[in-house]
């Protein structure tokens, strides 16, 4: 049987981590590599009950492992390692690749703690078996962006069921003329539609992998494929309630407008990330609720419009997936 694993560099995870782990084990993942970006947060989360979870706090030992990766030597300015979480994510992904090779894992996918790998079937294994037989070694999955309908949902993975569809491919959008016209006149969305990234996340066949290509992709020998079918997808729940929004922007602080000598926002990415940084810094977080409600929360009547225009999808079975894990644990005990 194929072994499929996840690597994730995590922050602000206490309210999400148990669902994240149980969900992914329930659909067929066998190993999860978690890298806590804040070592103190690692001490606050109990993971020893989860067989198959490998947790790493940021430490001198982990930094030594970073220095053994090829990505470390592709980072020209080593000061950026401390400043940029995306660099640390790529370094952690390469550490996980080496661990996966030793553990004879077949496939590895790189996602964040606010993301779920979603397939309509009960298990992911038939999907990866098909790709393995086909000779595919590198798959890019589109991401869908969650739309909270209130500011204080308790469990985003359970409470949020509406997602923006992804129209971005090959550095361009595939909106119809009617959809473009809707975005042009909308007060809820800009022309990018998504608040955050929309270029997908990747899985790699470990035997052919050559390393991490940033956060979203891998280098690998063989056949690269963009998942053209509707599913599987990555469900992204960014800033899914107001508390997570506050945690994110207080943690990130006054980050640079540039990433890798290029603007963080502009041609392909919404300005929301920079606006949120500036608004949070200016108000010290005190008046951020109004900003959050205006920019992140999507009213139900607007979601209905998106559904009518085939720009959104409703997914309600996420909440049931972890029940499989809990039932299996009861059988074992």
The pLDDT value given to residue 260: 72
Residue 162: helix, strand or coil by DSSP? strand
Q: Which residues contact 302 (CB under 8 A, 6 or more apart)?
A: 188
pLDDT digits (tens, 9 = 90+) for 199-230: 999 999 999 999 999 999 999 999 888 876 68
- Bridge pairing between strands 115-118 and 217-220: unpaired
Q: Under a CB-based contact definition with an 8 Å cutoff, are residues 152 and 241 in contact?
A: yes
Give the containing element (helix H, strand E) for 78. Answer: none
| Bridge partner list, 163 | 146, 313
The pLDDT value given to residue 235: 98
Rounded to the nearest 5°, which phi and psi values hold at 226? -95, 125
How many domains are contained in the chain? 1
What is the model's pTM? 0.94
**Exposure on the CB side of residue 146, measured as CA atoms within 13 A:** 27
Q: Under a CB-based contact definition with an 8 Å cutoff, are residues 22 and 326 in contact?
A: yes
Q: Is the pLDDT of residue 326 over 70?
A: no
Q: Is the pLDDT of residue 331 over 60?
A: no
Q: Under a CB-based contact definition with an 8 Å cutoff, are residues 9 and 85 in contact?
A: yes
Can you say how many angstroms the Cα of residue 139 is from the centroid of all Cα atoms in its chain?
Answer: 15
Sign of the alpha-carbon dihedral angle for 263, 265, 266, 268: positive
pLDDT digits (tens, 9 = 90+) for 26-74: 999 999 999 999 878 876 777 888 999 999 999 999 999 999 999 999 9
How many angstroms separate the Cα of 165 from the Cα of each of 191, 252, 266?
14, 27, 20
The pLDDT value given to residue 178: 97
Q: Under a CB-based contact definition with an 8 Å cutoff, are residues 105 and 5 in contact?
A: yes
Give the containing element (helix H, strand E) for 152. Answer: none
Region of poorest pLDDT, from 7-11, 53-57, 326-330: 326-330
Tokens, residue 218: 């891998």
The pLDDT value given to residue 16: 94
Q: Is the pLDDT of residue 333 over 60?
A: no
| Bridge partner list, 145 | 164, 236
pLDDT digits (tens, 9 = 90+) for 110-142: 999 999 999 999 999 999 999 999 999 999 999
Domain range for 122: 4-332
pLDDT digits (tens, 9 = 90+) for 214-270: 999 999 999 888 876 688 999 999 999 999 999 999 999 888 888 777 788 877 889
Query: What mean pLDDT do residues 273-286 have?
Result: 82
Confidence of residue 165 (pLDDT cuts 50, 70, 90): very high
Q: Is the pLDDT of residue 332 over 90?
A: no
Dihedral angle at the C-alpha atoms of 270, 274, 280, 282, nearest 10 degrees? -130
Helices (H), the chain: 17-26, 39-44, 60-66, 70-74, 80-83, 85-102, 125-134, 156-159, 177-185, 242-252, 272-283, 288-295, 300-308, 322-332
Length of the chain: 333
């Amino acid at each position: 049987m194929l072994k499929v694993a996840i690597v994730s560099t995590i922050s602000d995870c206490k309210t999400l981590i148990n669902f994240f782990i149980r969900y992914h084990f329930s659909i067929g993942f066998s190993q999860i590599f978690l890298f806590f970006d804040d070592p103190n947060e690692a001490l606050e989360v109990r993971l020893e009950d989860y067989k198959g979870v490998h947790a790493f706090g940021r430490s001198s030992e982990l930094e030594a492992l970073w220095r053994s990766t090829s990505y470390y030597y592709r980072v020209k300015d080593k000061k950026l390692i401390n400043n940029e979480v995306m660099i640390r994510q790529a370094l952690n992904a390469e550490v996980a690749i080496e661990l996966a090779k030793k553990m004879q894992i077949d496939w590895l996918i790189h996602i964040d703690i606010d993301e779920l790998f979603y397939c309509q079937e009960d298990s992911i294994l038939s999907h990866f078996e098909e790709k393995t037989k086909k000779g595919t070694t590198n798959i890019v999955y589109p991401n869908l962006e969650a739309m909270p309908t209130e500011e204080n949902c308790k469990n985003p993975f359970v409470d949020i069921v509406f997602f923006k569809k992804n129209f971005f491919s090959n550095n361009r959008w595939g909106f119809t003329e009617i959809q473009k016209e809707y975005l042009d006149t909308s007060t809820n969305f800009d022309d990018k539609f998504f608040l955050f990234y929309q270029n997908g996340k990747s899985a790699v066949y470990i035997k052919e992998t050559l390393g991490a290509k940033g956060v979203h992709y891998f280098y690998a020998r063989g056949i690269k494929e963009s998942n053209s079918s509707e599913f599987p997808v990555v469900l992204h729940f960014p800033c899914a309630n107001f508390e997570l929004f506050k945690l994110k922007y207080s943690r990130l602080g006054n980050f640079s407008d540039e990433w890798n000598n290029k603007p963080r926002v502009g041609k392909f990415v919404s300005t929301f990330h920079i606006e949120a940084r500036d608004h949070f810094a200016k108000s010290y977080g005190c008046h951020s609720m109004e900003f959050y409600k205006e920019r992140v929360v999507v009213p139900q009547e607007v979601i209905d419009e998106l559904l009518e225009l085939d720009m959104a999808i409703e997914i309600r079975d996420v909440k049931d997936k972890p029940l499989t894990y809990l039932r299996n644990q009861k059988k074992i005990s």
